[in-house]
Amino acid sequence: MDNPILLTIAICEVGFWVLVIGGLCLRYVARMRRASTVTLALLPVLDVVLVAAVALDLHRGGEVEFAHRLAGIYLGWTVVFAHSTVAWLDVRFAHRFAGGPAPIKPPKTGPRAYRNEIRGFVKWLTAAAIALVITYALAYTVADSDQAAALKTVIQPLGIITFFWFVTGPLWVLGSKTAGSRNAKDAAGERSRL
């Protein structure tokens, strides 16, 4: 991999899963709760490593590429979604290795499904805001004017992701909820006419 930032993102992603799976294996398979807690507490170190790598590359005069903008998006994602990802896996590890309750499947339609989609979308908006803050902070602190202008274009992929997240998430569930309630009313009307 020629791009050092892409390589760093890949290493951080692999490191994330190694720490999460390793931490949960320590907790539920090896029964080493303290070691598990320490391992999972190392997750934010990966974010620091990535920010430092991007800042160093910019400081050295590296040309801003998609990977630099992706790093900001990745950081926003991990800051907001890492905890819920660990919690999701924790329930499954507890069920598989420690006799915990079976995971509850989230509803696909109805008010609870819509609330889940809205919650996920709000979390994404928070992640996008964090990505903007991190990227703009790098643009104003370590980047030169050309690098800063290129970094600020991160708003375009964030806008595209936000649009598609909204359409395929809350809007989709709302549409299926409306269609579902309409179909139920139609069925009730048909029964009343019989």
Give the confidence band of 48 by pLDDT, cuts at 50, 70, 90: very high
Look at residue 68 in the predicted model and tell me its pLDDT: 95
**Gap between the Cα atoms of 11 and 13, Å rounded:** 5
Lowest-pLDDT choice from 21-30, 34-43, 56-65, 177-186:
177-186
Percent of the chain with pLDDT over 70: 90
Burial-class residue 141 by CB neighbours within 10 Å (0-12, 13-18, 19+): exposed
| CB distance 139 to 147 below 8 Å | yes
Look at residue 134 in the predicted model and tell me its pLDDT: 96
**Gap between the Cα atoms of 8 and 165, Å rounded:** 26
Name the DSSP letter for residue 131. Answer: H
**Gap between the Cα atoms of 170 and 123, Å rounded:** 13
DSSP labels, 48-82: HHHHHHHHHHHHTTPPP-HHHHHHHHHHHHHHHHH
Look at residue 191 in the predicted model and tell me its pLDDT: 44
Mean pLDDT, the chain, as a whole number? 91
Which residues lie closer than 8 Å to 123 by C-beta, 6 or more apart? Answer: 80, 81, 84
Please check the confidence at residue 140 and state whether its pLDDT lies above 60: yes
Q: Which residues of 8-25 are buried (b: 16+ CB within 10 A; e: fewer)?
A: bbeebeebbeebbebbbe
Look at residue 141 in the predicted model and tell me its pLDDT: 96
Beta-carbon neighbour count of residue 119 at 10 Å?
Answer: 13
* pLDDT tens-digit map of 116-134: 999 999 999 999 999 999 9
**Gap between the Cα atoms of 46 and 153, Å rounded:** 24
